């Protein structure tokens, strides 16, 4: 299930443009028809040809807009085709813009049967962005552009085609299969000499996007094949591939012994018993430990409070928090980052049956708190309650949980940002900044003490729903009861961002998008290393 290599190869080229060889050369054009300064490196013949086309308004330069034409005969270039690619407004470029451009390049090359291409960018492309740090040395800025382009191209190259079969019509000779994705190699042009550090940074981007691909693969698996048992099997296989990871599986009997009745209650209606998965990576010496917790409901029918049929097929994505933990842990281990990390995944299938939990049940969680279950479709917080309590036993410096928790978050934020709540303002600010850098944007919601009143129960310590108002916040208030006092904790509700039913972003495919993997990486890169 886990891709070991991307089908698309991305490298860096240096030296004179006239020495490069590929099927096409891509040159950027800003909105308004201004070619990037790198055009001067391509020779006078091409520069004149491009300027003429810009004057004739063949392209306006909008983000992702493109035109393709033959390379002038006397240009001296060894690439037969030229692509002018719109970069958007010069003053509005961000890292996310370049990720989108990487996706546009991938789509363009596949559509135009371009197997290999060079992309030429110049320093002015990155300096144009007012949103980038002015303190960063200028010589590093082009590398950041290349990293974002590569990231977008690799993210765009992802395909989930595990269950597509090739059909041959009866009585006819099978035809030679058509190459559906001809684009194989992207070469990023760079002024100056390539260094070992730049190669390493590009490798880190590749390893990170492999982690995203792993998370996407898990999220896209059909629920008849991915259940708590097979998810645990994925954890074992991950540890076999990467020995730096230690995997522990708490099966049903151990959950009973540890009193994890939240997980047991949710999984009680399924033929496949629930489990708790831990993934430990300890290569940080005496550095503090980070715990990441991911909701792993492999399918959510709603239980006895069954969901409507509309959209229920999408409930296989209710384990995308768990998928993010898997993908992040893999990326960290592949990069051999010097950190201490534990991933905790409570896995269950929420099904209606004679053994399922009922509305009105009262369960005792591993922490000892009694919970009145008023709605069996508010199951994610029940399994996370036990998982957060278990994560606290590792004595981490911080706990971050990711969960497709509430439809209310989708109503509030749509698919443009994940909801962020927690008890530690510095941790929340660090995550917000990581969201800006990674493109996995977050928006903080308040947790005023008054919201805690909504989850008070008359017959138990708390109830698992807090009424119609502020559903995302009261769910976070519920989770906060299972975090130890003075424990830094952040909750990320990814209900609206975990999967896409038809994205306009070229690097975000339909289906699971692997949200959270890049966010967590940028968080640890800036604050944990």
Q: Which residue numbers are catalytic?
A: 307, 381
Please give the Cα distance from 271 to 301 (Å, whole number): 14
Query: Checking phi first, is residue 179 left (phi over 0); if not, alpha (psi -120 to 50) or beta?
Result: beta
Quote the CA–CA distance of 11 and 118 in Å, as a whole number: 10
Three-state SS string across 306-366, please? CCCCCCHHHHHHHHHHHHHHHHHHHHHHHHCCCCEEEEEEEEEEECCCCCCCCCCCEEECC
- Cβ distance 480 to 423 under 8 Å? yes
- Cα-Cα-Cα-Cα torsion 378, 383, 385, 390, nearest 10 degrees, comes to -170
- The backbone torsions φ and ψ at residue 93, rounded to the nearest 5 degrees and listed phi first, read -70, 135
Establish how many alpha carbons lie within 13 A of residue 175's alpha carbon, considering only the half-sphere containing its beta carbon.
7
Of the CA atoms within 13 Å of residue 408, those in its CB half-sphere come to: 16
Write the DSSP string, 117-157. Answer: EEEE--HHHHHT-TTS-TTS-GGGHHHHHHHHHHHHHHHHT
CA dihedral 13, 19, 20, 22 (to 10 degrees): -160
Beta strands in 360-466 (DSSP E): 362-364, 370-372, 398-403, 418-422, 442-444, 462-463
Tell me if 324 sits within 8 A of 520, measured CB to CB. Answer: yes
> Pick from 163, 266, 272: which is nearest to 226 by CA?
272
SS3 260: coil
Q: For residues 141 and 123, is the Cβ–Cβ distance under 8 A?
A: yes
Closest listed residue to residue 408, CA positions, set 491, 495, 477, 497: 495
C-alpha span between 505 and 502 (Å, rounded): 9
Torsion of the alpha carbons at 343, 317, 466 and 346, rounded to the nearest 10? -30
Alpha-carbon span 82 to 25, nearest angstrom: 5
Other C-beta atoms closer than 10 Å to the C-beta of 84 total 23
């Amino acid at each position: 299930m886990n891709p070991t290599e991307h089908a698309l190869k991305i490298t860096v080229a240096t030296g004179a443009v006239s020495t490069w060889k590929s099927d096409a050369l891509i040159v950027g054009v800003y909105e308004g028809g201004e070619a990037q300064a790198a055009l001067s490196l391509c020779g006078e013949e091409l520069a004149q040809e491009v300027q003429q086309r810009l004057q004739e308004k063949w392209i306006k330069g909008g983000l992702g807009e493109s035109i393709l034409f033959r390379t002038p005969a006397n240009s001296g270039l060894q690439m037969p085709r030229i692509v002018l690619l719109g970069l958007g407004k010069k003053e509005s470029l961000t890292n996310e813009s370049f990720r989108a451009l990487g996706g546009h390049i991938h789509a363009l090359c596949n559509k135009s049967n371009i197997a290999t291409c060079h992309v030429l960018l110049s320093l002015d492309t990155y300096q144009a962005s007012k949103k980038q740090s002015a303190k960063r040395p200028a010589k590093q800025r082009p590398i950041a552009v290349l990293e974002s382009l590569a990231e977008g191209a690799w993210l765009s190259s992802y395909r989930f085609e595990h269950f597509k079969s090739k059909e041959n019509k009866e009585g006819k000779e099978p035809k030679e299969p058509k190459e559906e994705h001809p684009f194989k190699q992207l070469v990023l042009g760079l002024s100056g000499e390539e260094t070992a550090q730049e190669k390493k940074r590009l490798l880190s981007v590749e390893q990170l996007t492999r982690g995203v691909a792993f998370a996407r693969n898990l999220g896209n698996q059909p629920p008849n094949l991915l259940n708590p048992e097979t998810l645990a099997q994925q954890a074992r296989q991950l540890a076999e591939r990467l020995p730096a990871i230690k995997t522990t599986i708490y099966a049903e009997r151990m959950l009973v012994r540890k009193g994890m009745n939240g997980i047991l209650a949710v999984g009680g209606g399924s033929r496949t018993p629930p489990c708790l998965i831990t993934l430990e990576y300890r290569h940080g010496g005496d550095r503090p430990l980070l715990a990441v917790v991911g909701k792993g409901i492999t399918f959510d029918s709603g239980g006895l409070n069954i969901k409507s049929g509309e959209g229920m097929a999408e409930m296989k994505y209710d384990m995308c928090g768990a998928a993010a933990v898997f993908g992040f842990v893999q990326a960290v281990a592949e990069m051999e980052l010097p950190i201490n990390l534990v991933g905790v995944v409570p896995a269950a299938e929420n099904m209606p049956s004679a053994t399922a939990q009922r509305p009105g049940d009262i369960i005792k969680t591993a922490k000892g708190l009694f919970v009145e279950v008023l709605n069996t479709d508010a199951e994610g917080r029940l399994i996370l309650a036990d998982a957060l309590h278990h994560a606290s036993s590792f004595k981490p410096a911080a706990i971050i949980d990711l969960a497709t928790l509430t439809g209310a978050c989708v109503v509030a934020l749509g698919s443009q940002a994940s909801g962020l709540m927690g008890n530690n303002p510095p941790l929340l600010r660090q995550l917000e900044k990581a969201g800006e850098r990674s493109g996995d944007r977050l928006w903080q919601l308040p947790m005023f003490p008054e919201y805690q009143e909504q989850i008070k129960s008359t017959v138990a310590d708390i109830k698992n729903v807090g009424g119609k108002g502020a559903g995302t916040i009261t769910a976070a208030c519920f989770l906060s009861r299972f975090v130890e006092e003075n424990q830094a904790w952040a909750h990320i509700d990814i209900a609206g961002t975990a999967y896409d039913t038809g994205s306009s972003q070229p690097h975000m495919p339909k289906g699971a998008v692997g949200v959270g993997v890049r966010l967590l990486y940028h968080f640890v890169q800036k604050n944990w290393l």
